[in-house]
């Protein structure tokens, strides 16, 4: 039944209400800095809601990427632009309201047709033993729908290279604080090992390449936030950023040449292939998002 509530739902109601209020405040406030702060709160709360909806994989990525790194990017933009928030014309407001209202009606109508049913979940669980990994999300991500993930890695690589080709020389925002410097230096090795552990966990439990990569990106951005440059040459960072796309397509092509088909792993080799791909995506996601923050190689 769709319309049913229980005693535990108080938590859901409170979280959802807070999420909605933070979204409203973020959209309504005149000050863009304030909007950015409320957006970070919004991202964190939506991460908590993913946990309530039994999606811990998504929660890990949302809290690090959707909240922290997007927030930092927005702060970079707020500091760089001095544009005032002008009031929109009445005509614009009218048609915006009209479009939103139409979509509300359409979606409410759609809501009445939704039923509780088995979608493709049972198909995934039936074929899980053929994928080489025990975690259903990673089986979908890297085996059943590996082509999507390959293209996704391609999209983020292209986005970062588009960003670099704009050639902005603006310094990334940093905070010159000795405490943050020491803390980020102390914590970076632990973050590297823990993110590697999360990536390894992806083969049989919650975790995976994107979660680990997001965590490592957070650690690297924290390191850069203290005004320090990574002790790596630009050419090495370049290799790291390209690793995901390169290794993923090479493995796909290798199996195509061996006669299995593009990105179709034979059963006995699937676990090791997926782990190699996960490692390459881990390192390249982390360095691509770090480059997105720092704005240069």
Partner 1 sequence: MIWFYYILAILLVIISLYHFIVARNYVKRLIALNILGSGVFLFFITTAKNTNTESPDPVPHALVLTGIVVAVSATAIAVSLILHLNKEEE
In the bound state with partner 1, the residue whose beta carbon lies nearer, of 86 and 186, is: 86
Determine which residue in the list 166, 179, 186, 229 makes contact with partner 1, applying CB under 8 A: 166
User: Could you give the string, one character per residue 175-214, with x where binding to partner 1 holds by CB under 8 A and - elsewhere?
Assistant: -----------------------------------x---x
d(C-alpha 3, C-alpha 184), whole Å: 48
User: How far is CA 19 from its chain centroid?
Assistant: 19
Q: For the purposes of burial, counting CB atoms within 10 Å of the CB of 8, is it exposed (0-12), middle (13-18) or buried (19 or more)?
A: exposed
Per CB under 8 A, the segment of 102-110, 179-187, 188-196, 239-247 that binds partner 1 is 102-110
CA distances from 124 to 107, 115, 135, 141 (A): 28, 20, 11, 11
Collapsing DSSP states into helix, strand and coil, what is residue 208? Answer: coil
User: Could you give the string, one character per residue 247-276, with x where binding to partner 1 holds by CB under 8 A and - elsewhere?
Assistant: ------------------------------
In the bound state with partner 1, the residue whose beta carbon lies nearer, of 128 and 181, is: 128
Q: Count of residues for the chain?
A: 297
58 is a contact residue toward partner 1 (CB under 8 A):
yes
d(C-alpha 238, C-alpha 232), whole Å: 10
CA distances from 131 to 142, 210, 251 (A): 9, 18, 16
14 is a contact residue toward partner 1 (CB under 8 A):
no
Determine which residue in the list 21, 25, 48, 49 makes contact with partner 1, applying CB under 8 A: 49
2 is a contact residue toward partner 1 (CB under 8 A):
yes
Euclidean distance between the first and the last CA atom of the chain, given in angstroms as a whole number: 53
In the bound state with partner 1, the residue whose beta carbon lies nearer, of 168 and 254, is: 168
Determine which residue in the list 41, 44, 76, 244 makes contact with partner 1, applying CB under 8 A: 76
d(C-alpha 164, C-alpha 169), whole Å: 10
Per CB under 8 A, the segment of 195-203, 231-239, 256-264, 285-293 that binds partner 1 is 285-293
Determine which residue in the list 41, 44, 133, 140 makes contact with partner 1, applying CB under 8 A: 140
Per CB under 8 A, the segment of 30-38, 186-194, 224-232, 245-253 that binds partner 1 is 30-38
Q: For the purposes of burial, counting CB atoms within 10 Å of the CB of 81, is it exposed (0-12), middle (13-18) or buried (19 or more)?
A: exposed
Determine which residue in the list 91, 113, 162, 186 makes contact with partner 1, applying CB under 8 A: 162
């Amino acid at each position: 039944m769709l319309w049913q509530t229980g005693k535990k739902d108080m938590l859901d109601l409170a979280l959802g209400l807070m999420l909605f209020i933070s979204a409203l405040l973020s959209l309504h406030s005149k000050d863009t800095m304030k909007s950015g702060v409320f957006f970070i709160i919004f991202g964190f709360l939506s991460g908590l809601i993913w946990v309530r909806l039994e999606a811990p994989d998504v929660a890990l990525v949302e809290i690090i990427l959707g909240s922290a790194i997007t927030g930092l990017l927005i702060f970079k933009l707020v500091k760089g632009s001095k544009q005032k928030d002008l009031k929109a014309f009445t005509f614009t407001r009218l048609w915006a309201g009209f479009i939103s209202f139409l979509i509300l009606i359409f979606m409410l109508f759609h809501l009445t047709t939704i039923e509780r049913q088995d979608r493709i979940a049972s198909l995934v669980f039936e074929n899980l033993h053929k994928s080489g990994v025990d975690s259903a999300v990673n089986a979908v991500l890297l085996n059943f729908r590996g082509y999507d993930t390959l293209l996704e890695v391609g999209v983020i690589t292209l986005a970062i290279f588009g960003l670099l080709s704009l050639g902005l020389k603006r310094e990334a925002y940093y905070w010159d604080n000795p405490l943050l410097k020491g803390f980020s230096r102390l914590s970076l090795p632990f973050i590297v090992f823990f993110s590697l552990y999360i990536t390894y966990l992806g083969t049989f439990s919650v975790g995976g390449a994107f979660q680990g990569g997001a965590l490592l990106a957070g650690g690297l951005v924290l390191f850069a936030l203290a005004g320090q440059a990574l002790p790596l040459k630009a050419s090495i960072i370049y290799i790291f950023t390209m690793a995901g796309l390169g290794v993923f397509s090479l493995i796909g092509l290798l199996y195509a040449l061996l006669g299995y088909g593009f990105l179709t792993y034979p059963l006995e080799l699937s676990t090791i292939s997926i782990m190699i791909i996960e490692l390459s995506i881990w390192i390249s996601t982390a360095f691509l998002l770090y480059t997105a923050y720092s704005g240069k190689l």
